[in-house]
Structure 1
């Protein structure tokens, strides 16, 4: 079912998709990375070439689990730096970083920072051309943790999945937009040939052959059952209706924020139903202070900064889920407007000589807000 959702080759063809359930997308990404590394190593060994310096190409906006993979499994991480007004991986720059030791290029369908989809189609086309010129076979992995349950229903014509020949594996989180409670993810490979057989273990002590490829061992099956139930109960139409509603509510929130004329919208209309925005004028107060004041109204709206090379850009982000109604979107706009009016009445702050960048003086007192720096959200 998951393979069909991502347009994997049919079982009747030469390629037959395979995959496994995981504990969220983090484990899925670690398994995908291991599969790419092992396949690259096996190929290099067969060719009599060195296989001790693998690398992976990603954008600087990747989720922290990609950094974990690189560090834990000794793979060089080559990051494409983001720039102001372009907060995702540039496919042109990504392909420039590829070399004979690149085990894969990782594209994100729904950036953690602003929900934006990266251009997987362009990355595929550019990589195909480079592979043709160099004789390499650099593949692509799509981290669709958030977007994997969005794009098939809202943007079915968007080519990002197994319709592209270089996309060899895709991960998705069931507990984001898969409508399942936390703790389930999925990793799908285009074909069995993309998953090295020596990574799979076989057990028969439960009465039959049981292949397994996981990092996590004992775990319950409740999330797997819940995902199956949702897929059966909601069906394609049900998921599409829910995702359309999420998108529409995101547009209501975006329109309300734009109407204040106080914010710059950093998210895209096509992407995960996320509204990311920053203040146009930060001379009086910043996004961290807005976030702190919103807590008094019951809202937890994270404030954080973009990755390196765009770290000076701070933003707020609202993720629209299936239970976030139009009424809540309108209420949030009203509460944000109220907070702005309150902050407008405060005297202009000055940086505390003892506090550093995260403390400002207001009426002789110290206002301290937390900076999240370049840390990435953990799911």
Structure 2
């Protein structure tokens, strides 16, 4: 008789965990020969995914992880619709165009988007335009490619060389810009970020890097490193000056990579920190990309590419096909794509409106500011005591601020910090990893033990791409970045600060104890009320929780030692 667990002996009544899919090694390199029960397969995959991190506690990602239940229904009901089949799914196409028009209006485009028929009938009157993309990666490539081709077109008309086109970008840009340059044969002219400029580029640095072969300049709203904003208005003015210069006269377009910040700046509270000028109101801003799946509050992946004037997109970039049974002209890097996230974006626009977006964004900004102030307020005191000699405790660090704030969350809902601690008689340098007995990477690992995903990474402070290998001599700064998204509450911010305190206390006592086992070390983290401001109660609560936990641990240890 065969093994009762073999698939041929399984029946409809065989329980999920009694089936061979759970007993045998999971299919990996080859597709299984036989089919499996759908409920069992669902349970099998779902159980394995329990080993994934918790999306809510993933503060490394900018991506939306939660939507309304009604949005979830709308998404699931339309998963089978291929967006490219616009003749069949014409209402979906209409909804995409509504989203584009709303975004053009939000970003102050001077011209409404006309219909395809109106554009074809009038090729001179400006028309705003845009298209959906899989994300900002595709969107920014579409925008940048249109600038490259427009540059080539103008150069050819003047009989000038089209060799060596370049883009001018800061070392704070998303890695996709490196991909664009490599894929489309464009040189990069790197502008370094500096501590003195708050880790963004400057307009004067841009002026020094552009030339007649510059196809576009890129400015970022909400950089991937810190969430800071490049000075878009100042960069625009530099490009206007260059265009009006009798000797140069280069009409260089400005592209704004607003993947992260595009849905922040219009909706944050402008009463204390004035609104920035960054969008289509500026003369040289010709294109903008924005991610719907970041602070557009839609699941991945959906992004938007927007043009101030449709007629600045060379017609050669549009490809027409009738493979679906009708003439379809598109400008995209993909063909087939899902419709669900386009519908989800439209759902959010209707569901939230400008007021709803403002309430969400302002809440996130407030929580990020609480987190920044809370971490800035933390103070470290460390004492040591010789185990052999019956001496008292000696203070070796007293009331030392633990973190420096890199981004104070005034413009973007993220808190970015660097370690402020140094070894005795050693000034704080850019090489944070060498400054102290542990680094931000060690703190990140400790936080991960509590479930948090808080990235620790180094920012290059020179004219080198983010992809280039950093050496010990590379000017850099090590930071931790926490992006506050939907799903995070004030209590969770307090818990995160508490976990930071636990991590610092644990590292201080453990690392010092390993370095010198002849001594006992005690670390205490307190809060500076003046630095904490409105976050003081939140930080004090976190400090008290850690102190209580430490006292409880000591009592348990004393009881255990007394029982021996």
Given the two structures, how large is their TM-score scaled by the length of structure 1? 0.89
Matched with 1:216 is 334
Could you tell me how far 1:206 is from its partner in structure 2? 4.7
The correspondence for 1:56, drawn from 161, 167, 182, is 167
Map of 1:162 onto structure 2: 280
Post-superposition Cα deviations, 1:153-194, rounded to whole Å, max 9, x if no partner, equal 115832100000100000001111011101110000001122
3-state secondary structure, aligned to 1:183: coil
| Paired position in structure 2 for 1:7 | 108
User: Secondary structure in 2 aligned to 1:114?
Assistant: coil
Matched, 1:321 2:422: no
Aligned to 1:276: 416
> Which of 261, 264, 269 is residue 150 of structure 1 equivalent to?
264
* Alpha-carbon contact 2:111-2:309 (below 8 Å) kept: no
Q: Aligned equivalents of 2:265 and 2:370: distance in 1?
A: 20
Which among 324, 334, 349 is matched to residue 498 of structure 2?
334
How far does the alpha carbon of each residue in 1:45-98 deviate from its partner, in whole angstroms, 9 at most, with x for none? 000000111000000111110001111111110010112343111111012111
Residue in structure 1 matched with residue 35 of structure 2 by the alignment = none
Matched, 1:68 2:186: no
Q: After superposition, give the CA deviation of every residue in 1:222-244 in whole Å (9 maximum; x if it has no partner).
A: 11110011111110000010000
Distance 1:12 1:319 in 2: 34
From 448, 453, 457, the equivalent of 1:300 is: 453
| Alpha-carbon contact 2:372-2:409 (below 8 Å) kept | no
- Provide, for residues 285-329 of structure 1, a one-character-per-residue CA deviation record: whole Å limited to 9, x for no partner: 110000001111111100000024374310001000122111111
Corresponding residue number in structure 1 for 2:389: none
Say whether the 8 Å CA contact 1:117–1:270 is kept in structure 2: no
- Cα contact 1:29–1:171 (8 A) shared by 2: yes
Residues 241-274 of structure 1, C-alpha deviations (whole Å, 9 max, x = no match): 0000000000110111011031001014332211
Asked whether the 8 Å contact 2:111–2:308 carries over to 1, the reply is: no
Gaps of 5+ in 2: 1-101, 115-124, 379-400, 422-434, 463-473, 518-564
Structure 1 residue aligned with 2:146, among 17, 24, 35? Answer: 35
1:1-379 mapped onto 2 (5 Å cutoff):
1-11=102-112, 14-86=125-197, 87-133=199-245, 134-154=248-268, 155=270, 157-204=275-322, 206=324, 209-260=327-378, 261-281=401-421, 282-309=435-462, 311-348=475-512
CA deviation after TM superposition for structure 1 residue 210, in Å: 2.8
Structure 1: segments with no counterpart, 5+ residues? 351-360, 364-379
Task: Classify the secondary structure of the residue corresponding to 1:343.
Answer: helix
- Contact preservation (8 Å) 2:372, 2:408: no
SS of residue paired to 2:444: helix
2:476 aligned counterpart, secondary structure: coil
- Relative to structure 1, the CA distance from residue 74 to residue 243 in structure 2 (aligned partners, 3 Å threshold; closer, same or farther) is same
Higher mean C-alpha deviation, range 135-144 or range 310-319: 310-319
SS at match of 2:290: strand
Most deviating of 3-12 and 67-76: 3-12
Larger radius of gyration: 2
- 1:285–1:349: 8 Å Cα contact kept in structure 2? no
Do the aligned partners of 2:221 and 2:230 also contact (CA within 8 Å) in 1?
A: yes
The secondary structure found in structure 2 opposite 1:70 is helix
**SS of the residue aligned with 1:306?**
strand
Q: Please give the alpha-carbon distance, in whole angstroms, between the structure 2 residues aligned to 1:218 and 1:108.
A: 29
Deviation of the 1:280 alpha carbon:
0.2
